[in-house]
Chains A and B, each alone.
Chain A
Amino acid sequence: EVQLVQSGAEVKKPGESLRIACKGSGYTFNRHWISWVRQMPGKGLEWMGRIDPSDSYANYSPSFQGHVTLSVDKSSSTAYLQWRSLKASDTAFYYCARHTSGYDSEFDAWGQGTLVTVSS
């Protein structure tokens, strides 16, 4: 069974750094791109960016470029979403999702979500 399991909820202060994780299992991790999606409280889904686990090539939505960094650790089948300096407006649920096939494909599996709360 394909599974994406995300790390637990985080509470941080503005200006702090953070990295959250998404561990894939039940499939060959290197063969499927991973995207990250933000959902602010009570709002819709926003695509943030995607990464190819085979070579760590990533690209980002213009709305998130420069504010977050995607990475992977192939040895542990884990993808990461990282911030160097959090803002209160980063408070949201964050989901990782597996691309079915290739970088331009739908998402056939999702993580359970990680709630990030940024508050002073």
Chain B
Amino acid sequence: EIVMTQSPAFLSVSPGERATLFCRASQSVTRKLAWYQQKPGQAPRLLIYGAFTRATGIPARFSGSGSGTEFTLTISSLQSEDSAVYYCQQYYSWLPFGGGTKVEIK
């Protein structure tokens, strides 16, 4: 079973600054990796799939990179509406999620 580990668990960033979130797989998932955003009281929303492809309607400030076991989600210039929990998920073998990173706006 592939285990997904996200870091850090919590990130506090000032508006306009860059936020970098990490996701590690316990074994290679090639590029079968997605990122989701979940705001309080809402369902998750797909941000990135295939490790780096933005989903429909996702702003360009969100970008994904990586392959194999190491992945990164970057929010280039944080906006107030980006305050949320971010989850990675691999779909190479089953569909487990990482534990999430909570992003707070300072």
- Taking Cβ atoms with an 8 Å cutoff, the residues of A that contact B are 35, 37, 44-47, 50, 61-62, 95, 97, 100, 104-108, 110-113
Contacts and interface: CB of A to CB of B under 8 A. Distances in A.
Contacts of B43: 95, 110-113
Nearest to A59: B94
A44 B100 contact: yes
Q: From DSSP, what is the main secondary structure of chain B's interface residues?
A: loop
Contacts of A105: 49, 91
A35 B91 CA distance: 12
B95 interface: yes
B44 interface: yes
B1 to A, nearest CB: 7
B45 A110 contact: yes
24 contacts: A35-B95, A44-B85, A44-B87, A44-B98, A44-B100, A45-B87, A46-B97, A47-B95, A47-B97, A61-B95, A95-B44, A100-B49, A104-B91, A105-B49, A105-B91, A106-B49, A106-B50, A106-B89, A106-B91, A107-B34, A107-B36, A107-B89, A108-B46, A112-B43
